[in-house]
Homo-oligomer: A and B are copies of this chain.
Amino acid sequence: MTSVQESRLLRACRREEVDATPVWLMRQAGRYMPEYRKLREKWGILDLIRNPELAVEVTMQPIEAFDLDAAIIFSDILPILEPMGLALSFVRGEGPHIANPVRTAADVDSLRTVPPEDGLHFTLEAIRLAKRELANRGVPLIGFSGAPYTLASYAIEGGGSRHHINAKRLMMSQPTVWGNLMSKLANAAGAYLQAQAAAGADVLQVFDSWAGELSPDDYRHYVLPHTRTTVEMARQSGVPVILFGVGTASLLELMASTGADVIGIDWRVELDEGWRRIGHDRAIQGNLDPVALFADWDAVRSRTDRILQQANRRSGHIFNLGHGILPNTPVETVKRLVDYVHEVSVR
């Protein structure tokens, strides 16, 4: 058995040669799996996250079902906001809801700083348990956090949002208040990622799902310095850091400037062009359109071939979707995709 440090994922993060391209899928533990839906009949999403045994069970479901090169701890980007003082709930069918969103300077000042060992102990415990489960498989475990902008957007909007009007208004109109909020979130995310590494996470991913809503200039001024703080804190733990965003075609150089070891891209950028812009001194993760998995196998295969051809067997490519796997994705296609990536990328 290969050690985790010599696994395909870790080797790819370090841009070392691999025997085949590593593959994992964002939200690989989720609603498209019947095993997961069965658990969700009984438990709410926050129940699963807060119970380490259940979180590990969900984490392992895709590892049992598919030949994946990484597990990712089952959690969500939003529980980090709870110990800070925000009242988070998930309304079935409607997504996350924060009852007391951040809107004023006083709201920002009142956000608490709580050590992750206290406020997010359940996920740290789940990481310790999952590492035991994964130990004899040689499969690395990914920990993760939301990036400051995406966390700020949820904290201000109080949930999902199409246009991010409240978040952007605060950012544009009250830069000092915004900076204080982002600074608190950046440090909280950084400390959380460090704690996950200390608990055993082998790789850390920073999700900036909403960064692509910003103009490059707004991203540069109001977001990048804080994302850099989070990435730098995470990298201090000595494990590789993946920085991922959606709709980031104009932000790739700025994202690379955070120092992240791997940049995750979506399908809106050609992988070869994206890699050239990020720089070949970085690893890259991506980038199949998750909707392709709803199409015929030939369509999945041709798009997978194209991505692998663009990666051109260069060291440092991690195959993934360009965003999280969608509910109702056919499980059989997922299985076939994972096997196919290994089969055709074998060195």
Give the B-binding residues of A (Cβ under 8 A).
Answer: 163-165, 168-169, 172-173, 212, 214-218, 247, 249-250, 267-270, 273, 289-292, 294-296, 299, 303, 306, 326
Contact between chains at B172 and A268 (CB < 8 Å): no
Tell me the minimal C-beta distance from A31 to chain B in angstroms: 13
Contact between chains at B268 and A216 (CB < 8 Å): yes
Tell me the minimal C-beta distance from A290 to chain B in angstroms: 8
Cβ-defined partner of A296 (8 Å) among B173, B214, B216, B249: B173
Q: Which chain B residue lies CB-closest to A273?
A: B250
Cβ-defined partner of A269 (8 Å) among B169, B250, B268, B270: B250
Contact between chains at B291 and A173 (CB < 8 Å): no
Contact between chains at A295 and B168 (CB < 8 Å): yes
Cβ-defined partner of A168 (8 Å) among B172, B273, B289: B289
CB-CB under 8 A from A163, the residues of chain B are: 290-291, 326
Contact between chains at A295 and B326 (CB < 8 Å): no
Give Cα A273–Cα B168 distance, bound, in whole angstroms. Answer: 23
Contact between chains at A326 and B289 (CB < 8 Å): no
Q: Which 6 A-B pairs have the closest CB atoms?
A: A249-B249, A172-B295, A172-B299, A173-B296, A215-B267, A168-B291
With A249-B249, A326-B163 given, is the CB distance from A268 to B169 under 8 Å? Answer: no
CB-CB under 8 A from A214, the residues of chain B are: 268
Most chain B CB atoms below 10 A, which of A212, A269, A291, A303? A291
Count of this chain's copies in the oligomeric assembly: 2
Sampled A-B contacts (11; CB under 8 Å): A163-B291, A163-B326, A165-B326, A168-B292, A169-B291, A172-B292, A172-B295, A172-B296, A212-B247, A212-B268, A217-B270
Give Cα A294–Cα B303 distance, bound, in whole angstroms. Answer: 41
Give Cα A168–Cα B290 distance, bound, in whole angstroms. Answer: 11
CB-CB under 8 A from A290, the residues of chain B are: 163
Contact between chains at A215 and B289 (CB < 8 Å): yes
Give Cα A214–Cα B292 distance, bound, in whole angstroms. Answer: 11
Give Cα A247–Cα B322 distance, bound, in whole angstroms. Answer: 15
Tell me the minimal C-beta distance from A73 to chain B in angstroms: 25
Q: Which chain B residue lies CB-closest to A175?
A: B299
Give Cα A269–Cα B252 distance, bound, in whole angstroms. Answer: 12
Tell me the minimal C-beta distance from A145 to chain B in angstroms: 24
Q: A163-B326, A212-B268, A215-B268 are in contact. List 16 more A-B contacts (CB 8 A).
A: A163-B290, A163-B291, A168-B292, A169-B291, A172-B292, A172-B296, A173-B296, A215-B267, A215-B289, A216-B269, A218-B289, A249-B249, A249-B268, A250-B269, A250-B270, A250-B273
Tell me the minimal C-beta distance from A334 to chain B in angstroms: 15
CB-CB under 8 A from A289, the residues of chain B are: 168, 215, 218
CB-CB under 8 A from A165, the residues of chain B are: 291, 294, 326
CB-CB under 8 A from A217, the residues of chain B are: 270, 303, 306
Contact between chains at B216 and A294 (CB < 8 Å): no
